[in-house]
A and B are shown apart, each in its own frame.
Chain A
Amino acid sequence: MRIGAELFLDCLVREGVSHIFGFPGGVVLKLYDRLMDSDIKHILTRHEQAAAHAADGYSRSTGKVGVCLATSGPGATNLVTGIATAYMDSVPLIAFTGQVSTDLIGGDAFQEADIVGITRPITKHNFLVKDVADLARTIREAFHIARTGRPGPVLVDLPRDMLDAATRHVYPKTVEIRGYNPVYDGNPGQIRRAANLILNSTRPVIYAGGGVIISAASKELVQMAELINIPTTTTLMGLGGFPASHPLFLGMLGMHGTYAANMTISNSDLILAVGARFDDRVTGKIEEFAPNAKIIHIDIDPSAISKNVKVDIPIVGDAKNILKSLMAELKKHSDTKWKEITREWLKEVNAWEKENPLKYEKIDDVIKPQQVVEEIYRLTRGDAIVTTDVGQNQMWTAQYYKFEKPRRLLSSGGLGTMGFGLPAAIGAQVGNPDSLVFAIAGDGSVQMNIQELITAVQYELPVKVAILNNGYLGMVRQWQELFFDRRYSATDLEVSPDFVGVAKAYGAKGMEGNKPSDVEKIIKEAINTAGPVVMNFRVEREENVYPMVPLGAGIKDMILGPPEKKK
């Protein structure tokens, strides 16, 4: 006989869990007690939200399921933002929450919250274990659901008495869930039709999203693009799914996408969408999105298809499998002179690339934020794991760090969660102890989970936090500048902590950069420092992210740079 808490930990070990991120509390005391005797390493974050983001960063960077643990009530509700973040970006995450004893549920007990009810719309599925006999099977199902199909977070709520109860149950060998059978192979008829459409197009473009990274289809994506010479753009979530240095790569598309990517999409006659979901930040005004293009949409989630944009040929299944089948189908038509067909088109695409490449103006006395990102890219040879917060720091990272490999950029794309970067970097460093992990943050967003510096210090996780400090909530300020007549309502952060002092107070190294010549030196020193580092770069206060598609405009109607008078 074991108790529930012991069975719980045994199940986690069998699922391959080596690390969990969490914060203890009353109803999970028994679990935390047994955890001391377990092989599973527990990372104590200083806020449950950070535990969820750390588990998320661990998962995004390793491809494994991330696990976080919190107590009932406020512990559980503090996970909510982290769970929603993982849900929007299809991250396999399991959130275990303590719950008051089954006999107290519903009675407004101390630290009771209906976390299953609260997280229903932000989880792929969730469970309340009401009988210890269901515990092992529930954990098995939770992991199965989280990592299969379109991955996503699953929450398991564990009443205190479930962890105390004696049980003879064991981890089940198999899992079977009626009504849950994700489809992995594309329909052959649809694949044939897609191949025909590709062969009959003259202006094709590949639009790839996070699904490529989740299904480990990067190699196939490159092969597909090279087979017919199709220019390729990715979403924020897809960055690294296609090597940025590849001649067919256009950069990111959408609101802050490159001129070439947005023009190519807008003038295409065929979009091959792979594991992307036509998010509003990508499409801009729907009516003006790729008006002349037919769309082939490969996605494992049927509900992602024709949700925002009407699709001509949907193919439901796993991106890697379908790309392979699609290439096999295309190769049957080896007589077609594909590359000649796209030659003219590529000339046009290259002209757009030359016409308006990503650019910013360097100045002598003030650091440009883009410069910091470029320098981090150069000094890490493009091979660091980079987390971002949300806002300008996120977009500059997406634009100026050239991601060559998948699972290197960890960013909250769908939910847009400020405060994600530092805890996600901690999780990524736990999962990749030998990798260099950078968190590129803003001075606003870093303060949303800055307490996690102590977690990095405690567990000797040498994350490098680069704050692009402009003394503003920069992206909101940018919108206020452009669309609200420079009325900077609640975005001025001039009253700000001394970040170097904060770093030191937590026991991390802090460095301050004030002029462009400091940047390289500081980043080098950070890389050569064994422990966690905070780099506070004082950057140009009112630098904007360009290109920019104003809200409600078509993506070809970009603002390419600051108005002339400002120069």
Chain B
Amino acid sequence: MNEKTNQRRRTLSILVQNKFGVLSRVASLFSGRGYNIESLSVAPTEDPTLSRVTLVTDGSEEILEQIYKQLNKLIDVIKVVDTSRENHVNREMVLVKVRGDASVRADLIRAADVFKGNIIDASARTCTIEVTGEEGKIEAFIDLMTSFGILEIARTGRVAISKGPRTLKPGRVKP
């Protein structure tokens, strides 16, 4: 949010081999070279031999260029795209557990509705709500929940995909 003048926040989509140890290669590249990871999410793709990493990072243009090059240097990395440079959509999900006995239950339901959230669990004194959206919406929802008393939060980190027909297909495989 408080971006310095030459600091850029980027969402990188990284296609990697779905092998053990690949995530630690990506993560240790960042820690070893002093790059920042704001959030990271990873899961297999429609091709089970490949996984997709969505990584949010920031840095100067020079650092971002190095991040891109260093990622490409990893043997298990197949493709890196700066999705935030493209027309794209991004989402993250949050699960918020709040204090929510009968006296505030109705208020909670209304609040969740405003954010198109779902109440996914409720107990006598607590209530857990799921909300999906862009970061700003998630932040706003968490702000709102503060007044109820947040007990616990679990966020997924960002996932992103470019709009239109563009896809993150692996490059041509050379013979």
Contacts and interface: CB of A to CB of B under 8 A. Distances in A.
Task: Please say whether chains A and B are actual partners in one complex.
Answer: yes
B173 A307 contact: no
B72 interface: yes
Interface string A274-311: 00000000000000000000000000011101110010
A145 B75 contact: yes
A521 interface: no
Nearest to B25: A120
A145 B171 CA distance: 19
B75 A125 contact: yes
Interface in B53-81: 62, 65-66, 69-70, 72-79
B21 A116 contact: yes
B6 interface: no
B17 interface: yes
A189 interface: no
A179 B168 CA distance: 13
Contact of B70 (A116, A178, A303): A303
A303 B32 contact: no
A139 to B, nearest CB: 15
Contacts of A306: 62, 65
A124 interface: yes
A180 to B, nearest CB: 5
Contact of A121 (B28, B66, B77): B28
B76 A179 contact: yes
A176 B32 contact: no
A124 B62 CA distance: 23
Max chain B CB contacts within 10 Å: which of A124, A128, A301, A303?
A: A303
B17 A178 contact: yes
A117 interface: yes
A181 interface: yes
B123 interface: no
Looking at chain A's contact residues, is the secondary structure mostly helix, strand, loop, or mixed? loop
Interface string A154-190: 0000000000000000000000111111000000000
A120 B28 contact: yes
B69 A179 contact: no
A398 B164 CA distance: 58
B71 to A, nearest CB: 9
By size class, the interface of chain B is: 20 to 34
Given A120-B28, A302-B69, A303-B70, A176 B21 contact: no
B21 A303 contact: no
A307 B69 CA distance: 10
A178 B78 contact: yes
A302 B24 CA distance: 22
B175 interface: yes
B73 A178 contact: no
Contacts of B75: 124-125, 145, 177, 179-180
B169 interface: no
Contact of A179 (B21, B77, B175): B77
A178 B173 contact: yes
B91 to A, nearest CB: 27
B2 to A, nearest CB: 27
B149 interface: no
B166 interface: no
Contact of B174 (A116, A120, A181, A310): A181
Given A116-B21, A178-B170, A307-B66, A302 B28 contact: no
Interface string A301-342: 111011100100000000000000000000000000000000
Contacts of B170: 178-179
Contacts of B65: 306
A116 B25 CA distance: 10
Contact of A176 (B25, B171, B173): B173
B137 to A, nearest CB: 35
A128 B74 CA distance: 16
A301 B32 contact: no
Nearest to B72: A302
Nearest to B170: A178
A178 B170 CA distance: 9
A283 to B, nearest CB: 15
Interface of A: 116-117, 120-121, 124-125, 128, 145, 176-181, 301-303, 305-307, 310
Given A124-B75, A179-B77, 20 more contacts: A116-B21, A117-B24, A120-B24, A121-B32, A125-B74, A176-B175, A178-B17, A178-B78, A178-B173, A179-B17, A179-B75, A179-B78, A181-B174, A302-B73, A303-B69, A303-B70, A303-B73, A306-B62, A306-B65, A310-B62
Q: Which 7 A-B pairs have the closest CB atoms?
A: A179-B78, A303-B69, A125-B75, A121-B32, A302-B69, A180-B75, A181-B174
